[in-house]
């Protein structure tokens, strides 16, 4: 008898998966600050993942539903060679259908709210984003139950 179950064919190599894990474990101060605002659908209900491999790259943050990638850059990204590398990376991601927003770490540390407003605006301008309905307190269902009880 042949086993019809197939082993999954991972598109991400073990090396890339391991690199992504180490980047999550060793995140920068700026990455931790932004992640605390993005995780668990905290920013306008959008779901983000961090340090996700895409092709030969590991992106800092990604919202799949809005096809938005957030990159936080340290000082080394201002060197000419690294700017060319970032341009190639952005072109690759753009070809895959993603929009890339880049912020430098200094901006995150001194103007976190401004960075988050820019990200929220980019999420809001996404034509493919469908946000999940809010559940629990304050939701439409809870409001409907309350209105029904008061009649």
Q: Report the alpha-carbon distance of residue 8 to residue 106 in Å, rounded.
A: 41
3-state helix, strand, coil split of the chain in percent (to 5) is: 50, 15, 35
Is 92 a member of any domain? yes
User: Strands, DSSP E only, in 19-80?
Assistant: 49-54, 57-63, 68-73
Report in angstroms the alpha-carbon separations of 69 from 42, 116, 151.
Answer: 16, 13, 47
In a domain, 121, yes or no: yes
Per-residue DSSP letter, 12? S
- CA 53 to CA 24: how far, in whole Å? 12
Rounded to whole angstroms, what are the CA distances from 33 to 30, 90, 108, 136?
Answer: 5, 23, 8, 27
Least Cα distance to 47 among 117, 122, 132, 112 occurs for 132
Pick 103 or 10 by higher pLDDT: 103
The share of the chain scoring above pLDDT 90, in percent, equals 56
pLDDT, averaged across the chain: 81
Q: Predicted confidence band at 126 (pLDDT cuts at 50, 70, 90)?
A: low
Q: Which of 8-12, 76-80, 114-118 has the lowest mean pLDDT?
A: 8-12
Q: Which residues, in sequence order, are CB contacts of 137 under 8 Å at separation 6+?
A: none
As for how many domains the chain has, the answer is 1
In a domain, 55, yes or no: yes
Per-residue model confidence (pLDDT) at position 3:
52
**142 in Cβ contact with 136 (< 8 Å):** yes
Task: Kindly report, residue by residue over 27-69, the tens digit of the pLDDT.
Answer: 899 999 999 999 999 998 999 999 999 999 999 999 999 999 9
The answer to whether residue 148 is domain-embedded is: no
Look up the domain containing 26 and give its range.
Answer: 14-125
Tell me how crowded residue 24 is: count the other CB atoms within 10 A of its CB: 15
- Give the DSSP letter of residue 79: S
Give the phi and the psi of residue 60 in degrees, each rounded to 5.
Answer: -65, -55
Does residue 65 lie within any of the structural domains?
A: yes
Residue 146, domain member (yes or no):
no
Query: Does a structural domain hold residue 37?
Result: yes
Any domain includes 52? yes
CATH number for the domain harbouring residue 104 = 3.40.960.10
């Amino acid at each position: 008898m042949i086993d019809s179950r197939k082993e999954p064919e991972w598109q991400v190599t073990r090396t890339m998966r391991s690199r992504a894990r180490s980047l999550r474990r060793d995140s920068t101060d700026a990455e931790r600050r932004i992640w605390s605002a993005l995780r668990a659908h905290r920013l306008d209900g959008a779901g983000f993942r961090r340090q996700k491999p895409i092709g030969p790259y590991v992106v800092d943050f990604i919202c799949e539903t809005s096809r938005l990638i957030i990159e936080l850059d340290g000082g080394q990204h201002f060197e000419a060679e690294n700017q060319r590398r970032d341009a190639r990376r952005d072109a690759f991601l753009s070809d895959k259908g993603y929009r890339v927003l880049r912020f430098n770490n200094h901006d995150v540390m001194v103007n976190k709210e401004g960075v988050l407003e820019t990200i929220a605006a980019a999420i809001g301008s996404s034509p493919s984003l469908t946000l999940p309905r809010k559940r629990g307190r304050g939701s439409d269902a809870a409001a409907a139950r309350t209105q029904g009880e008061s009649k």
